[in-house]
Homo-oligomer: A and B are copies of this chain.
Amino acid sequence: MNPVSLETLNDAGREAFAAMLGDVMELAPWVAEQAYTARPFASVAALYQAMTDAVRKAGDVPQRALIEGHPDLAGKAAREGKLTADSTAEQVGAGLDRLSEEEFAAFHGLNSAYRKKFGMPFIVCVRRHGKESILREFERRLQNDAAAEREAALGEIFRIAALRLDQRVTGPDKLKVHGHLSTHVLDVHDGHPAESVAIELCEIEAGGGARILRRTVTNADGRTEKPLFGGTPIPIATYELRFAVGEYFARLHTPMSDPPFLSIVPVRFAVAEPEGKYHVPLLVSPWSYSTYRGS
């Protein structure tokens, strides 16, 4: 679905409005209907605010219904293909459709324990997390009391809504729901940006395995044409950048040992703030390198 402009939403009738935003809150079109009355919206942030206000003001019973409208993570509904389009895309994006047996068992056990303790499904904005981070959240939130957990669930619902709004609505402003991951390779042997360095971005999994997310190459300024992540949250996870510096220096006929001391340079780091700015550069000679969280 193409995004709709804020202007169009402001001019829309109640029905059209609800049709466009009814699924921003999972199975709760009433939230969009409530928000309709607050038109016109000067900004996407104001629209988001109106929707969360509608939930806050609705009181206990509708809130509980909203929460219960959410599916289990990696649950029965997901396996049977019975999720909403949004939920399906979100769970697939987080890798919940390709769990190992052990992971599936872990999710199943946590879902049960959570339902038993809180009587509701566990809700987390999965686009902000990798698989292990979801499991860690699960365990952490199982320690909460009911009131804190109710609040945590609403908070996650609002995060999910903000990301859905960000995809559906264009306006004069952007919600602060995106992170940014970039790199930069500097050749300190010759004192200039390193061009045409092949880079892989991997996600490192619990067992140490690496899943390649992206393959790219540096341009004349030593940067990648597009950020490694941008326009989405960066899932909380461990990543590894792999820089093919051996090939790079070989192409420049830089004297090196055989095999070269440095060939693939792996830089492993974790993202803790999905909406943060992560710049992870590499300063490299054939015999040394450094890296850091830059800005």
A288 close to B188 (CB less than 8 A): yes
Chain A: residues with Cβ within 8 Å of the partner, total of 44
Given A290-B289, A292-B283, residue A266 in contact with residue B266 (CB < 8 A): yes
CA distance A259 to B288 in the complex (A): 25
Chain A 282-295 per-residue mask, 1 if CB under 8 angstroms from chain B, else 0: 01011111111111
CA distance A273 to B255 in the complex (A): 15
Which residues of the other chain, B, contact A17 by a CB distance below 8 angstroms?
none
The distance from the CB of A197 to the nearest CB of chain B, in whole angstroms, is 14
The distance from the CB of A185 to the nearest CB of chain B, in whole angstroms, is 10
A188 close to B287 (CB less than 8 A): yes
The distance from the CB of A206 to the nearest CB of chain B, in whole angstroms, is 12
B238 close to A263 (CB less than 8 A): yes
**A269 interface residue (CB < 8 Å to B):** yes
For residues 193 through 212 of chain A, which have their beta carbon under 8 Å from a beta carbon of chain B? Answer: 193, 208, 210
CA distance A238 to B223 in the complex (A): 27
B133, B190, B238, B289: the one within 8 Å of A287 (CB): B190
For residues 251 through 295 of chain A, which have their beta carbon under 8 Å from a beta carbon of chain B? Answer: 255, 257-266, 268-270, 272-273, 283, 285-295
Task: Pick the most buried of A221, A259, A287: most chain B CB atoms within 10 A of its CB.
Answer: A287
**A71 interface residue (CB < 8 Å to B):** no
A272 close to B259 (CB less than 8 A): yes
Which residues of the other chain, B, contact A18 by a CB distance below 8 angstroms?
none
B268 close to A260 (CB less than 8 A): no
Which residues of the other chain, B, contact A291 by a CB distance below 8 angstroms?
288-290
**A222 interface residue (CB < 8 Å to B):** yes
CA distance A53 to B221 in the complex (A): 34
B268 close to A264 (CB less than 8 A): yes
A285 close to B221 (CB less than 8 A): no
Which residues of the other chain, B, contact A208 by a CB distance below 8 angstroms?
210
**A191 interface residue (CB < 8 Å to B):** yes
Q: In the A-B complex, list the 9 residue pairs whose CB atoms are closest, starting with the nearest.
A: A191-B287, A290-B290, A288-B292, A257-B272, A188-B288, A259-B270, A193-B295, A287-B293, A191-B293
